[in-house]
Amino acid sequence: MARFKLTRNIEAEDKELFQVKLPKSLITDLNLMVTWAKRERTDVVTEMLRFALTQEADFQRERKRANANIPGGVPDASQKKEVASEKGHVAAAASK
């Protein structure tokens, strides 16, 4: 399994409200990760979900099958993250 790391997503993406009730133990761990990473809760949850979705092989196979039926397809979460990371590296290099 790949290592989970929090990176800043500099690409502005459309956002939608997603509410869910979670077990208290999970919320405690989530709050600890937010404090530890010094990041906003939404950033931590977004990165955790992206990581989990890219690690699930069955889901990735289903996503590829579904995208084959959509003209142009839809980039998966890892592709969006890579594009954002590349832009961040370019911006960081330019500022040095």
**What are the sequence ranges of the domains in the chain?**
24-95
Residue where the block lists tokens 């459309």: 14
Residue 12 has pLDDT above 50, yes or no: yes
> Residue 92 above 50 pLDDT?
no
How confident is the model at residue 16, as a pLDDT? 85
Instruction: Sort 33 into a burial class: Cβ within 10 Å, 0-12 / 13-18 / 19+.
Output: middle
User: Does the pLDDT at position 30 exceed 50?
Assistant: yes
User: CA angle at residue 7 from 4 to 10, to 5 degrees?
Assistant: 145
Render pLDDT for 37-68 as a digit per residue (tens, 0 to 9): 999 998 899 889 988 888 888 888 888 888 88
* CA–CA dist 65, 59 (Å, integer): 10
pLDDT at 80 over 90: no
In degrees and rounded to multiples of 5, residue 54 shows phi and psi of -75, -20
CA–CA distance, 24 with 3 (Å, rounded to integer): 25
Query: Residue 54 in contact with residue 76, Cβ under 8 Å?
Result: yes
Mean pLDDT of the chain: 76
